Structure 1
Amino acid sequence: MNKSSMDKNTGSGEVTIKGTEQSIMHSSTGNREFQIFVSKPLEEPPPSGYPVIYLLDANSVFETMVEAVRLQSRRPEKSGVVPAIIVGIGYCTNGPFSSERYYDFTLPVAVTELPKRPDGSPWPAHGGAENFLKFIEEDLKPEIGKRFKIDHNSQTLFGHSLGGLFTLYVLYKNPYAFQNYIAGSPSLHWNKNWFHEEEERFLSRLNQGNGDISLLLGVGEQEGTHKSRMNENALELSIHLSMTDCGINVQFKEFEGEGHLSVLPPLINRALRFALKENVPS
């Protein structure tokens, strides 16, 4: 079809995904600004409300997850995926990532303890994970709860790379903030000492609750050669948490032939079944 016939027979303009919207949201602490992407199912909510998946780095993967849910939730009895609200947390940028994520997803740590940057340049500002968690819990979640009928017992946090590190930070710091945690290729080497130091308090927090918590750790096979030991660190954590008998359902998956970024689509597919399977009508 040539250009003139396309112009004659089709509308022009940007492509949008039905049922999605975006807005700017400011944090009540830390003076931060976020681009919030929301996808609401076209179906009516179940009696318990919609399950919700909170997605980090939304500029890069929001559309991928939305389309995966839209397609797979058509036959939940076959796919194990039900309609869900996707809440993407991103930044005011046209690129897939923003350097602001280094601040929001990491814990305070001395510059001398940070891994060296590949190009030798200084790392962006870091150490804002505590304020970012406050934004999610005190600003974003209440807003989503006001606008939609949601299932407060089916909330998931999905993060990849530094976002995976932040996902594990939330698990350790406030384990019952979510029921499901998806940590893809987590950059544990950034704050590995903190997790060792925090473990006793983490186990104490788990003992104070009575909900079910599930954790999926996913990595790409090709990441196994990275000097950060990303795959080894994730596997070690999954084994350790399984052996501590802490009551968390832990799964580890290494995706064959995938690298640090190419792992995202198969990880999302696996994550949807992992997070939403309990919501499938029997």
Structure 2
Amino acid sequence: MAGHWKTGASVTESPHSIGSDWPLASIPDTQVRPLSVDGTTYRISIALPGGPTPAGGFPVLYLLDADAGFATVVETHRRLSRRPDATGVAPAVIVGIGHGGGGLYDPGRRERDYVPRALQSSHTDGAEAFLNFIETRLKPDIGATLAVDPRRQALIGHSLSGYFTLWTLVRHPGAFQSYAAISPSLWRDEGLMADIPAIRGDISSVFIAAGEWEEALAPWQAEHANSADIARRRAERRMVSNARTFAARLGDHIGAGRVRFEMFPDQDHASVFGVAINRALRMVSGPHLT
């Protein structure tokens, strides 16, 4: 399955020297390569599953913001998929899409890629162009190189990329069969929820999650000098309420059994990803996809 991909993807790339006599840490059975479109380059990281290839190919999970979350998702998935009978998580290929700027996030490129053109002040390429890159460049490249099943594809995102995940679900529901949106920034697009009734197509599963302290001030922030501003902003953005309402309305439309919402106690916008990803993996790569 390795094909032309470069194996041994680095867990992190630090601008600080850690000694040339020590090798960089890497995740076994992972691969990385740049993939460019119209002068823009993405860092594509891939984790290969163990075991025999299913007759139709492995499910494939496309992970957004992979510069920040690839290692977390790969190691969580591998721990769970060792015993699918016990955990409900099946082996799958994981394809991470990163901006490759050296940090966890590239705010400018996230804005350009995850927000629709009409909602951007600069009206750059937008979410439409980014989804087109995934559909017409990345997926064909993955399909030509690895044994994956195009009928079992999932999209996973957090925060702004979680919003893009739900935007894709609403605007282009046939792009993937399953979706996982952790802490989706639905406040960016008030009209998205209203268009849920227009969704057509066979969607297998949708997982939506948020943390308790995304809509209220966490106890450890009470003494911050700007705590009032933080509390006001969180109340205005309604991260938990929006996610819960979106899930309820989506369940009414496509069937409640296909949609799951979870609010994780004592978690904030950053910490909830590591806690929620195991539930997300069970939802989007479970037995119903095998």
Please classify the TM superposition score into its range, dividing by the shorter chain length: 0.7 to 0.9
Stretch deviating more after TM superposition (241-250 or 137-146): 241-250
Equivalent residue runs for 1:84-99 within 5 Å: 84-99=92-107
Q: Per-residue deviation at 1:56?
A: 0.3
Question: Partners in 2 of 1:110 and 1:82 — Cα distance?
Answer: 37
Q: Compute the displacement of 1:70 (Å).
A: 1.4
1:256 positional shift:
1.0
Q: CA deviation at 1:14?
A: 0.8
**Out of 19, 34, 43, which is 2:29 matched to?**
19
Find the counterpart in structure 2 of residue 229 from structure 1: 238
Answer whether contact 1:52 1:150 (CA < 8 A) is retained: yes
Which secondary structure state, in structure 1, belongs to the residue aligned with residue 286 of structure 2? helix
SS in structure 2 opposite 1:78?
Answer: helix
Instruction: Say whether the 8 Å CA contact 2:34–2:42 is kept in structure 1.
Output: yes
Matched, 1:272 2:281: yes
Please list, as runs of the form range in 1=range in 2, the aligned pairs for 1:181-196 lying within 5 A after superposition. Answer: 181-196=179-194
Q: Once the two structures are superposed, what CA deviation does each residue of 1:11-54 show, in whole Å capped at 9, x if it has no partner?
A: 83111111111111012xx5421111111113231112111100
Give the aligned residue type for 1:162.
L
Task: Give the whole-Å Cα distance in 2 for the aligned partners of 1:274 and 1:246.
Answer: 15
TM-aligned CA distance change 1:47 to 1:162, over 3 Å? same
Q: Which residue of 1 aligns with 2:265?
A: 256
In 1, are the aligned partners of 2:196 and 2:250 still within 8 Å (CA)? no
2:57 and 2:191 map into 1 onto residues whose CA distance is 39
Look up the match of 2:165. 167
Cα contact 1:105–1:166 (8 A) shared by 2 = yes
Q: Percent identity?
A: 36
1:132 aligned residue: 130
Residues 1:14 and 1:241: Cα distance change in structure 2 (over 3 Å): same
For residue 34 of structure 2, give the secondary structure of its aligned residue in structure 1.
strand
**Residue 10 (structure 2) aligns with:** none
Deviation at 1:243, TM superposition (A): 2.6
Is the Cα contact below 8 Å between 1:106 and 1:128 reproduced in 2? yes
Is contact 1:176–1:213 with CA below 8 Å preserved after alignment? no
Cα separation, 2, equivalents of 1:280 and 1:129: 27
Please state if 1:73 is matched with 2:81: yes
State the alpha-carbon separation in 1 of the partners of residues 254 and 87 from structure 2. Answer: 30
Contact 1:24 1:33 in 2 (8 A): yes
Secondary structure of residue in 2 paired with 1:193? coil
1:238 Cα shift? 1.3
Instruction: Check whether the contact 1:102–1:125 (CA below 8 A) recurs between aligned residues.
Output: no
**Are residues 109 and 221 of structure 1, via their aligned partners in 2, closer, same or farther at CA, if it must alter by over 3 Å?**
same
Please list every run of 5 or more consecutive structure 1 residues that lacks an aligned counterpart in the other structure.
1-10, 113-123
- The TM-score with structure 2 as length reference comes to 0.80
The counterpart of 2:249, out of the listed 240, 251, 256, is: 240
Task: Tell me, yes or no, if structure 1 residue 64 matches structure 2 residue 62.
Answer: no
Give the alignment's Cα RMSD to 1 decimal: 2.2
Mapped to 2, the partners of 1:174 and 1:280 lie a distance apart of 20
Unpaired segments of 5 or more residues in structure 2? Answer: 1-20, 217-233
1:279 and 1:86 map into 2 onto residues whose CA distance is 18
Inter-partner Cα distance in structure 2 for 1:84 and 1:38: 11
Q: Residues 125, 65 of structure 1: CA spacing in aligned structure 2 closer, same or farther, 3 A cutoff?
A: farther
Whether contact under 8 Å (2:117, 2:128) holds in the other structure is no
- Alpha carbons of structure 1 residues 191 and 84: separation in structure 2 relative to 1, 3 Å: same
Paired residue for 2:53? 45
Residue 246 of structure 1 and its aligned partner are, at CA, apart by 6.1
Secondary structure class of the residue paired with 1:146 = helix
Letter in 1 for 2:93: I
Counterpart amino acid of residue 175 in structure 2:
A
> Residue type matched to 1:217 in 2?
I
Alpha carbons of 1:229 and 1:38: their partners in 2 closer, same or farther (altered >3 Å)?
Answer: same
* Distance (whole Å) between structure 2 residues aligned to residue 212 and residue 125 of structure 1: 30
**Which of 213, 221, 236 is 2:204 aligned to?**
213
